[in-house]
Structure formats: C-alpha cells, structure tokens
Amino acid sequence: MTTTPTQTTTGNGLKTWGLFLIPVVLLAGVIALFLVTSGAGLNVEPAAPIEGLSFERTILRAGEIEFHVRNSGPQDLTLAQVIINEAVWQFEVSPSATVPRLGQAVIHINYPWVEAEPYTILVFSTNAVPFETVIEAATVTAVPDGGTLLSFTLIGLYVGVIPVFLGIFWFPALRQLGPRWLMFLMALTAGLLIYLGIDATSEALELAAEIGGPFQGVGLVGLGIVVTFLLLDAISRRQVNVGRSEADQRLTIAFMIAIGIGLHNLGEGLAIGAAFSVGAAALGTFLVVGFILQNITEGLGIIAPVLKDRPAWLNLLWMGLIGGAPAIVGAWIGGLSYWPPLGVFFLAIGAGAVFEVVYEIFKLIQKDAAKRPMPLTLFAGVTVGMLLLYVTGLLIK
C-alpha cells in the first residue's frame, strides 16, 4: 500500500501517487455513470422490494414492550403496522417510522404482557414484508442500577471466577505428579481448549446467521478469530525473543492461556447476560453445579504449563482473575446493552484466543517431547480433555 521508501526524489514520489490515483479517478467516473444513467444499462430494480430488519434489543417494562431495530436491508424501510400474538396493536416509533439503511429505530408498544408467557411479534413494512421476533418468556428487563449490577456480577462470578479458581486450587496436588502425568495434563488442557474453540466458533456462526446482512456475520467471525490468533502469536514470539528462561516462558504461556480463556469467558458472559435480561434463561440450581463442574477444567488448563515451576501465588491469583473476571464484564455488557454483532465478535475473539493458546501448548509439548517422546500420552490427554467437556455437556443439557 505504501510507496517504496527508498525512492527519495520528489519527482518519483509524485509520479507514484499519480499512478495510484488513476484507478481512483476512473472509479469515480464509473460510479457517476451508474448514478446518472440509473444502472448504465443494467436493470437494478428488484421485482419485489428487498428489505431487512434486525431486532437488536428487546426491553420489557410493566405494560410496555420496546424493540430496538436496525434496517439491515439495502434501502430505506418504513414500518407500517405491528401484530402481537395475532392482534394488531398500536405503537409509536422514534425517531421516525422510516428507517434509513443501517439506521436504528425504537418501537414502543403499550401492551399488557403477562410474566413468563411467550410473545410473537410481527412488524410489517409498508411493502407488506413481515419481520418476526419472539419473546420466549416475558419478564421485566434489567435496568442498570446497583441491584442489577450486583446480580450480573454474581452471574459472572459463578460462571467465570469461581470455576477457574477451583481449578487453580489443584495446583499443590498436581505438583506432586511425575513428567508423564504432567504431559498428560498439558495434552488434556489442549483437548479442553480445542473443544471450547470449536464450540465458540459454532456459537459465533449461529449468532452470525441471525444478525443483519450488512454486518457480514461470518466475515466478522473470521476477522475475530484470525486477528486474535495472530495478535496473541505475535505477543508470544516477542516474549520468547526477549530471551528469558524457560520457566519464564512457561509462565508467559500460562498467562496466555488465562487471557484466551478470559476472552472466551467474556463472550460467554455477554451471551448469558443478554439471555438473562430478556428472560430467556431458565431457573435451575443443579445446572449451576453442572456448570461449575465443566468450567473447573478451565482453571486446570491455566496452571498446567507451570506445574514444574514455582510461580508466585500472586501470579496464580492474577491468572485466575484474567481467566474468570471477564465473565463479569461480559455479563454487564450483555445484560445492559446487548448488541448482537458485538456478541458475534466477542465469541470469535474468544475462539481465536483459545486456538492460539492450543498452538502455544503444542509448542511447549513439542519441546518436552523432544527430550522424551510420549505420543500415546499426548493422544490420551487430548482425547480425555475433549471427552470431559462432551460428557459434562451431556449431563447438563
């Protein structure tokens, strides 16, 4: 993209810039031709209007329903009528019933909804195109006050911080293990993370399918995964190049795992908070226990690289917080101002981070294996790691 820095003469620089500008000028000409001739010979009018509307946020208050919608179609869109559960209902739109492309509007409806009941809402555009959204179980949407912040903090605590720390508490016990078991644990961590990464990717793609066309959900997923992966990779290479001891490098990897898991938990927290704030979450204490069971493994994964070493307790504390606390932040964001494209991006970042950490672990394993190859231990560890998440998943779904 840049001109070659070795050419210092201004004449050459100007010429290069000029050469760069020619296609840009031609492009402007082509666009102008299309605009002036309305299509330059192409029939650009569709047979039927193409419209898109994304429901980005649903807010329920006593006797009121509010939808934050975004025009995800190629043209302006005008909202005409609203039908709730097979009844035409009166509504107000602000700022305007005509929503520009990518523009937002808020639909306000006075409706006597009933706690815990489902509602199907149809919004018709003036072109009689229906857009549907569902409230799965109506409940008052959380508003940001001290009480709700505390609630979301507690959610994040249970979802992220506590399981991660419970895993870390295995540290003293695991230190007693021999090299074969340590190798097994590293492989197991890799297996866990591969499973998490695949899971997060699949969730990101599912959510991506639901956000509007202009936001290019799948592209957003790719962007999040690739960029996060390369960024973490670059950081870890820099750390290695600094030329510290192997123990320091292993500590760095442990921190990287914590960051990866933390980013993953951020995406999870976001989804939980969003689901919770619209009442789509079901009550069940035994599920929490199951959840802690499953996520304990995350803490285990964080400490696996440093079991041979003697990291400071403060380091372990930081790792636990980095790995777990983002779930709290995620729950806040998701619960109080959820925006689906952001959810997609965070899930993808989490997936990218987790995959990069798997890569780091395998580099570490490779180093150990160079001294003493244990292929079957590696195989068994990864398999058990993946199976662990699969089986705990079976128990709680």
Partner 1 sequence: MSTTHNLSRRGFLKAGALGTLGLAAGAAALHSGRAHAQDPTPTPDGGHNGHADGGMIDMPGFVGDVDHEANRFNPSDTLTDFNWGDRVSTLSSGQTLREYDFFAGDKDVEVAPGILFPAWTYNGRIPGPTIRAREGDHIRINFLNGSEHPHTMHFHGVHPANMDGVYEVIQPGERFVYEFDAEPFGVHQYHCHVMPLAKHIAKGLYGAFIVDPKDGWPKKADREFIMVMAGNDIDFDGGNDLYNVNFIPFHYDRHPIKIKVGELVRIFLVNMLEFDLINSFHLHANFFYWYPTGTSLTPSEYTDTIILGQAQRGMLEFTYRYPGKYMFHAHVTEFAELGWTGVIEVEA
Task: Map the footprint of partner 1 across residues 259-288, applying CB under 8 A.
Answer: 268, 271-276, 278, 280-288
- For residues 151 and 170, the answer to whether their CB atoms sit within 8 Å is no
**Which residue's CB is nearer to partner 1, number 217 or number 381?**
217
> Which residue, 60 or 302, has its beta carbon nearer to partner 1?
60
106 lines the binding site for partner 1 (CB under 8 A)? no
- Asked if residue 191 lies in contact with residue 183, where contact means CB atoms within 8 angstroms, the answer is no
- Residue 126 or 315: the one with the smaller Cβ distance to partner 1 is 126
Site for partner 1 in 187-216 (CB under 8 A): 199-200, 202-203, 206-207, 210-211
Report the candidate in 53, 46, 98 with the shortest Cα–Cα distance to residue 73. Answer: 53
* Cα–Cα distance measured from residue 199 to residue 182, given in angstroms and rounded to the nearest whole number: 26
Which of 208/357 has CB closer to partner 1? Answer: 208
Distance CA 160, CA 240 (A): 29
Crossing angle of helices 246-277/340-371, nearest 10°?
Answer: 150
- Which of 72, 113, 253, 299 contacts partner 1 by CB under 8 A? 113
Residue 176 vs residues 85, 102, 133, 185, 246: alpha-carbon distances, Å: 62, 58, 55, 13, 20
Span interacting with partner 1, options 12-20, 120-128, 164-172, 362-370, rule CB under 8 A: 120-128
Residue window 326-345: x/- pattern of binding to partner 1, with contact defined by CB under 8 A: -----x--------x--x--
Partners of 81 in the β-ladder: 124
3-state secondary structure of 103: coil
Residue 76 or 132: the one with the smaller Cβ distance to partner 1 is 132
> Min. distance of Cβ 72 from partner 1 in angstroms?
13
Q: Which is nearer to partner 1, 141 or 249 (CB)?
A: 141
H or E stretch covering 238: helix 217-241
User: Please, which residue, 223 or 288, has the CB nearer to partner 1?
Assistant: 288
216 conformational bin, left if phi > 0, alpha if psi -120 to 50, beta if neither: left
For the bound state, the minimum distance from the C-beta of residue 220 to partner 1, rounded and expressed in Å, comes to 14
Taking the C-alpha atoms of residue 9 and residue 360, their distance in angstroms, rounded to an integer, is: 46
CA–CA separation, 204 and 344 (whole Å):
5
Please, what is the minimum distance in Å from the beta carbon of residue 253 to partner 1?
25
Q: Is 16 an interacting residue with respect to partner 1 (CB under 8 A)?
A: no
Q: Give min distance, CB of 292 to partner 1, in A.
A: 8
CB 195 within 8 A of CB 175: no
Task: Please report whether residue 27 would count as binding partner 1 according to CB under 8 A.
Answer: no
Q: Do residues 365 and 378 lie in contact, with contact meaning Cβ atoms separated by under 8 Å? A: yes
Rule CB under 8 A: choose which of 2, 43, 90, 176 binds partner 1: 90
Among positions 16, 104, 126, 239, the unique one binding partner 1 when judged by CB under 8 A: 126
Task: Using the minimum distance from each CB to partner 1, give the nearer residue, 219 or 284.
Answer: 284
Distance (Å, whole) CA 120 – CA 136:
8
Tell which positions 147-186 bind partner 1, by CB under 8 A: 147-148, 150-151, 154-155, 157-159
Regarding 45 and contact with partner 1 (CB under 8 A), the answer is no
Nearer to partner 1, 28 or 395 (CB): 395
Chain positions 50 to 89 lying near partner 1, rule: CB under 8 A, are: 55-58, 60, 62-64, 78, 80-83, 86-89
* Beta carbons of 270 and 332 less than 8 angstroms apart: no
In whole angstroms, what is the distance from residue 119 CA to residue 135 CA?
Answer: 5
39 touches partner 1 by CB under 8 A: no
Q: How many helices and strands in the chain, by DSSP H and E?
A: 12, 9
**Smallest separation (angstroms) from partner 1 to the CB of 17:** 46
Nearest distance, CB of residue 354 and partner 1, angstroms? 13
With respect to partner 1, which residue has the nearer C-beta, 268 or 316? 268
